[in-house]
Structure 1
Amino acid sequence: MHTISFRAETATVSISAPTKTVLDLVADPQQLPRWAPGVAKAVRPEGDEWVLVNGDTEFRITVRVSREHGTVDLLSAQDPRQGVFTRVLPNGEGSEYQFTMLFPADAPDTAVAEQMSTVREELRTVRKLCEEQAALG
C-alpha cells in the first residue's frame, strides 16, 4: 500500500498574455522577487542551484523547466520531492497558470489556507506583470 506524505493544493489564474510571456517570467528565478517577494527579496545563482534570500534566511532551490510541456518546477535542492510544481497552458490567445504546492500531510488547515491566500496574491501579480508585458508587444 502506498502512503501519502504530502497534501497538494492547487491555484490557477487566467492571464491575457501568450504562454511564452508567462513562461519567460515564471521560469526565470531572478524574477521571483517581482512576483513572490514573500519568498525571495533577492536571488543569486550558485552552480546549478539558486539561493533565495529573504532577510537572514537563505533557501536553495533547483529550477526544472520544460518549455515544450509548459512546466516550471521550483524544487528544494535538499529534497526535490518538495517544492512548487507549475504549468502554463494555452487558453485561446491567453494562458492559464496552474500552481501546485505540497504541504506536509499533517499541516494545519489554517496554515495551508494562509499560504494559499498568499499564493493567490502572487498569481494575481504574475497576471499583472505578464499582461503589462504583453501590452508592450
Structure 2
Amino acid sequence: MRTSRHLSTYIDRPVKDVYSYASDPANLPAWAPGLCSSIEQVGGDWVAESPMGKIVVKFAEGNEYGVLDHDVTLPSGETFYNPMRVIADGEGCEVVFTLRRRPEVTDDDFARDLNAVQADLRALKKVIEDL
C-alpha cells in the first residue's frame, strides 16, 4: 500500500487569482524553487532546470474546478503524477498538494520531500499575497 500525505496552506486571495497564477508554468520558479530554478517552452513542452536535471512539466488543462494536477517527467523518462487543488475558502482559498510515497522511498527521503513541498506552498502563499 502506498502512503499519501495531503499538504496545504491557506492563501488570503480569491481562488480565481491563485489558480490563474499557479496554473501558469512560467511562474513555477518563483514559487516552486524545490522543483525548478528556470522554465521555458520548448516545442510546446514546458522544460525546466531542476536538481534532477532537465524535466518536463505538464499541468491539467485549464478548468473551473481549481485542478492543478501536473505530471513531472524526469530525464530518465519516468513520469510522476502530482495531484493539486485550489479550493475556495471564504474570501481566500486553500491550496492542497498530495504527495505520494513510492515504495522504494526511504523515511528520510519522504520527510525531505514533505519539507520541500511545504516550503513551496509557503513560497506560493507569500508570492501571491504580496502581488
Residue 46 (structure 2) pairs with residue 37 (structure 1): no
What's the offset of the Cα at 1:74? 1.8
Kindly tell me the number of residue pairs found equivalent between the two proteins: 128
SS in 2 for 1:52: strand
Residue 81 (structure 2) pairs with residue 93 (structure 1): no
1:56–1:72 CA distance, 2 compared to 1 (3 A): closer
What's the offset of the Cα at 1:38? 2.4
What's the offset of the Cα at 1:79? 5.5
Counterpart residue number, 1:112 = 110
1:42–1:117 CA distance, 2 compared to 1 (3 A): same
Counterpart residue number, 2:122 = 124
SS in 2 for 1:71: coil
Structure 2 stretches of 5 or more lacking a match?
A: none
Q: TM-score, normalised by structure 2?
A: 0.86
Note the alpha carbon deviations across 1:23-68, whole angstroms, 9 max, x for none: 1221011111101112111111123421111368101122114431
Aligned 8 A contact 2:46 2:57 in 1 = yes
Aligned 8 A contact 2:11 2:95 in 1 = yes
What's the offset of the Cα at 1:118? 1.3
* Equivalent-residue separation in structure 2 for 1:94 and 1:106 (angstroms): 37
Note the alpha carbon deviations across 1:73-117, whole angstroms, 9 max, x for none: 12034565x232110000000000001122312311111111111
Structure 1 stretches of 5 or more lacking a match?
A: none
Counterpart residue number, 2:11 = 15
Q: Identity of paired residues, percent?
A: 26
What's the offset of the Cα at 1:19? 0.4
1:100–1:48 CA distance, 2 compared to 1 (3 A): farther
Match of 2:63 among 62, 67, 71: 67
How large is the RMSD of aligned CA atoms in angstroms?
Answer: 2.0
* Equivalent-residue separation in structure 2 for 1:113 and 1:101 (angstroms): 11
Structure with bigger gyration radius: 1
Residue 46 (structure 2) pairs with residue 50 (structure 1): yes
